[in-house]
Structure 1
Amino acid sequence: MNAEPDRRRYDSLRRATQARETRVEIAVAARRLFVSQGWAATTVREVAREAGVSVPTVYAAYGNKAGLTRALADAADLSADVPRMLETLEASAADPGRQLAAMAAYDRRLFERAGDVIALVREAARTEPELAAAYREGRGQGDRTRELVFSSWPDGVLRRGLDVRSAVDVYAALCNIDVYTTLTVERGWSPDRVERWWSEALARELLR
């Protein structure tokens, strides 16, 4: 039996695995530097040195610094477990209060696990049009999710005087990275406490 095809197949898998590991190492190094010294002050050369790879390797993996930052932002959404939120939203379609709690729980996970990434994307967006567009898209996607949920509720669920657009605005004013940071960093709240308060405040402000 000729083992050559099998060896080539496993060599291919090994190279693919090594490439993924390299991408992860670069991303971890970039996140560490972006957070510690700021996005604008961090160069691709520094990221490469921190990750222990060459500068061309960074460009080959992510294109440029903006591409690397966008990849970090995409990973942030995954880290917050979007499928978990969607599963709860579907399972609690008849319970608006529980749906609000599911969305608040997602935001808590997102800010707890990747708040630093969100902050650095917002910083970078001031000078990078590509990242400004990515930041707006991320905010817009959140708004669209809430609009979809709120629109599914029967008449009479929202507080008197609130339409769906206004309800989305109220949600955005309560559940955002700045409020989360103020409460957890400046005021010493635990993430659990923030999530409970958000759930209660959303129900109080949005539901009749």
Structure 2
Amino acid sequence: MNPKPERDRRRYDSPLRAEAARRTRATIRDAAARLFVRDGYVSTTVKNIAEEAGVAVRTVFTAYPGGKAEIFREALDHAVAGDGARDNDDSHSAGVAEAERKRRGDTVSHVDLVVEQLVAYGTTMLERAGGLLMTSVESSGADPDMRRFAADDARATAENARTLAEGLEHAGWLREDVTVEHAADVLFTLSSPQVHALLRRDCGWDVERYRQWLSGTLRATLLRRTAR
């Protein structure tokens, strides 16, 4: 008896099973993300997630043994990391805008490009992940996992803001009356999911209005007028 066909079938089935498991996890993750943003973390149950995803509760726990906290962590990581294709689209849009300015003969300084890229990156990330980040903030008082997630994000945002402020100071672009500490505080606040949610969700601004406001506010509050 030749065992080779059985071995070949097993080699074939293994990638298929792995891909099916990956798709199931993604379906559960995306369904949970929608519910977390819409209904909040505390109000969303594993049963709700299973129903939204069209799977059994048992399947949710098989895919995510850590339950809701594990699902939220993966959903947030996925949202922050983003989709390569969409990110490339954003970079392409920035390049098109730069080319249009050059065509009109507008002067484009190095600091202009840095601010534009900074704002574009921050806006794109918050458009993807802002809802989940706000879920962790708004649920932090009622859930220890959310409290930890919110604290971790605030810490990471503060560290990034400090690094950016130091870079602006090193380049000589900060106003003379603005310290690195002040710049870091401003960047931390302006790049927060809370400000993004207030303007985009509560005030109903479109993304372009938010982007222009963020760019203009950064320039007006932190940067020298003569920075090139």
The one-letter amino acid paired with 2:69 is A
Matched, 1:14 2:46: no
The separation in 1 between residues aligned to 2:56 and 2:202, in whole angstroms, is 39
Aligned to 1:103: 118
Q: Cα deviation per residue 1:55-111 (whole Å; 9 max; x = unaligned)? A: 232223221211211211111211276x879xx9xxxxx934432332221221122
| Residue 42 (structure 1) shift | 1.6
Aligned to 2:156: 141
Aligned to 1:65: 68
* Unmatched 5+ stretches in structure 1: 89-93
* Contact 1:80-1:110 within 8 A present in 2 as well: no
176-185 or 43-52: bigger deviation: 176-185
SS at match of 2:173: coil
> Which residue, out of 8, 20, 34, partners 1:32?
34
The one-letter amino acid paired with 1:7 is R
> Which residue, out of 152, 160, 180, partners 2:167?
152
* Contact 2:157-2:192 within 8 A present in 1 as well: no
The one-letter amino acid paired with 1:141 is A
* Contact 2:161-2:188 within 8 A present in 1 as well: no
Q: Larger Rg: 1 or 2?
A: 2
* Contact 2:119-2:214 within 8 A present in 1 as well: yes
How many residues are matched?
Answer: 202
The separation in 2 between residues aligned to 1:141 and 1:169, in whole angstroms, is 13
Aligned to 2:101: none
Aligned to 2:82: 79
> Which residue, out of 177, 180, 198, partners 2:196?
180
> Which residue, out of 188, 202, 206, partners 1:190?
206
Matched, 1:116 2:119: no
TM-score (normalised: structure 2): 0.75
| Residue 3 (structure 1) shift | 4.4
Q: Cα deviation per residue 1:3-59 (whole Å; 9 max; x = unaligned)? A: 444332221111111111111111122123223333212211221222222323222
Q: Cα deviation per residue 1:98-129 (whole Å; 9 max; x = unaligned)? A: 32332221221122233321221222322332
The one-letter amino acid paired with 1:78 is A
The one-letter amino acid paired with 1:49 is E
Sort the Cα spacing of 1:160 and 1:104 in 2 relative to 1 into closer, same or farther, 3 A.
Answer: same
CA RMSD between the two structures: 2.9
The one-letter amino acid paired with 1:136 is A
Sort the Cα spacing of 1:80 and 1:108 in 2 relative to 1 into closer, same or farther, 3 A.
Answer: farther
| Residue 179 (structure 1) shift | 2.6
* Contact 1:69-1:121 within 8 A present in 2 as well: no
The one-letter amino acid paired with 2:176 is R
15-24 or 180-189: bigger deviation: 180-189
The separation in 1 between residues aligned to 2:156 and 2:111, in whole angstroms, is 20
52-61 or 198-207: bigger deviation: 52-61
185-194 or 10-19: bigger deviation: 185-194
| Residue 141 (structure 1) shift | 1.9
